[in-house]
């Protein structure tokens, strides 16, 4: 199998040292980060294999062992992982940058990097046996947010044909219980933030700005980091795009994990804190919430916190799918990951715990994998290959994964079992979270 691989780290951002070891030791940082990795088992450029382009999460890089694409390549995909600018480097907007842009826009460079990668794939992937007309764009965590945003970005039209977002539907933080898209700034707001940073740095031109050391720019990471309604990458907000049906209408696969969005095994919450959280989160709906998720002590408060978060996660996915499907004709397949990797019982089925299974690359880590883990990886990776190939995760040898049906709510459990499960523990809980 041929591999084109660049091991440079994908951008300048704080490092997540919990990911070191087992092939994840952090490589040197560099602003020269716009590179990609390709895994292919094609023996000729005349082959036309489906292409799987994957965006890594925050505080990560594309050559991490969890993103090793060799197994998926052996199963028939051409796998591409890419690096991109992040944080202050990926989102900096300023009047001077807008003025020099042919699109009169600035900010959103992280997404422009992804678009540049997709354009490169369209021009060049045939040389690696890939089909430029069968490209699946996928991502996890911050990479999932990129996928959700790129389906709303006009410059990305025609560059991908399926979309997969893992761990991208977040726990709602307002009493309307709607799915929350990433936060946007207007171009004026983003430029004002950038101008303030430039003033603090003592620079007034783009030449001077580009001469500032990366380490100095990193001190302003908390000041810059939001997407911008720049009129080019984002002419509309996420909600406005879906409401008008102007998103890129492609088959979509998305889901969440059992132990994320603050849910965690052995969750401990003081009873008074639990009640106060209900009041602050749900306001006038808090009384109804506490009747559905009652707790008499700290142990029950922790259990009910977990149960409510998990119900809300699954319903949130459904609400997003309903919003998406109002104008899109392509199907949505939603999932709920439930399996805990070996040795990670304290974390559970946590954020990102599905990745090694999804890439079928259990060989890339040193966990004590079992036959059960290998079977789960085989099944999940088969779904991924099918989806990238056809836009449908199903085939005759797999448990049937039904597409989202707005008239019949449910979600596909992936992990400890492979079957359709309810969105919430009871109909009353479903009604609470589903307006």
Enzyme catalytic residues: 141
Q: How many helices (H) and strands (E) does the chain have?
A: 15, 12
For residue 79, which of 90, 92, 66, 96 has the smallest C-alpha distance?
A: 66
Neighbouring CB atoms inside 10 A of 258's CB total 25
**Contact at 8 Å (CB) between 378 and 186?**
no
Give yes or no for a contact between 73 and 45, defined as CB atoms under 8 angstroms apart.
Answer: no
β-pair partners for 90: none
Torsions phi, psi of 57, nearest 5?
-85, 180
Task: Give the position of tokens 């523990």.
Answer: 425
Give the tokens for residue 381.
Answer: 């990776």
Q: How far apart are CA 44 and CA 425, in angstroms?
A: 51
Other beta carbons less than 10 A from residue 242's beta carbon: 22
Instruction: Give the C-alpha separation, 1 to 16, whole Å.
Output: 31
Residue 179 to residues 51, 184, 252, Cα–Cα distance (Å): 29, 15, 16
């Amino acid at each position: 199998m041929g591999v084109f691989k660049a091991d440079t780290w994908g951008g300048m951002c704080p490092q997540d040292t919990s990911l070191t070891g087992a092939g994840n030791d952090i490589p040197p940082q560099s602003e020269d980060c716009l590179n990609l990795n390709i895994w292919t088992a094609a023996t000729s450029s005349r082959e036309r294999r489906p292409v799987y382009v994957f965006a890594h999460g925050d505080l990560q890089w594309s050559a991490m062992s969890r993103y090793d694409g060799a197994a998926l390549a052996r199963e028939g995909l051409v796998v591409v992982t890419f690096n991109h600018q992040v944080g202050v480097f990926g989102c900096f907007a300023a009047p001077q940058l807008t003025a020099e842009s042919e699109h009169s826009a600035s900010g959103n460079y992280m997404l422009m990097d992804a678009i540049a990668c997709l354009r490169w794939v369209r021009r060049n992937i045939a040389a690696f046996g890939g089909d430029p007309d069968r490209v699946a764009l996928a991502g996890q965590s911050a990479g999932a947010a990129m996928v959700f945003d790129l389906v709303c970005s006009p410059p990305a039209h025609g560059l991908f044909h399926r979309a997969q977002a893992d761990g991208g539907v977040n726990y709602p933080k307002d009493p309307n219980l709607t799915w929350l898209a990433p936060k946007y700034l207007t171009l004026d707001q983003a430029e004002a933030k950038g101008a303030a940073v430039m003033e603090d740095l003592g620079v007034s031109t783009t030449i001077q700005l580009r001469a500032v050391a990366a380490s100095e720019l990193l001190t302003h990471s908390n000041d810059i980091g939001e997407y911008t309604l720049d009129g080019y990458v984002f002419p509309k907000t996420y909600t406005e795009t879906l409401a008008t049906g102007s998103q890129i209408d492609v088959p979509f696969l998305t889901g969440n994990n059992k132990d994320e969005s603050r849910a965690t095994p052995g969750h401990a919450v003081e009873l008074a804190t639990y009640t106060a959280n209900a009041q602050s989160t749900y306001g006038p709906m808090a009384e109804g919430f506490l009747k559905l998720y009652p707790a008499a002590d700290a142990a029950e408060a922790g259990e009910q916190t977990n149960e409510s978060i998990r119900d809300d996660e699954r319903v949130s996915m459904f609400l997003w799918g309903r919003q998406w499907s109002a104008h899109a004709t392509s199907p949505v397949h939603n999932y709920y990951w439930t399996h805990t990797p070996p040795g990670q019982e304290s974390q559970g089925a946590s954020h990102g715990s599905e990745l090694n299974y999804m890439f079928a690359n259990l060989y890339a880590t040193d966990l004590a994998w079992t036959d059960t883990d290998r079977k789960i990886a085989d099944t999940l990776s088969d779904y991924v290959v099918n989806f990238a190939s056809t836009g449908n995760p199903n085939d005759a040898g797999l448990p049937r994964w039904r597409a989202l049906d707005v008239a019949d709510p449910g979600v596909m459990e992936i992990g400890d079992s492979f079957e359709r499960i309810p969105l919430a523990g009871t109909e009353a809980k479903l009604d609470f979270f589903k307006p």
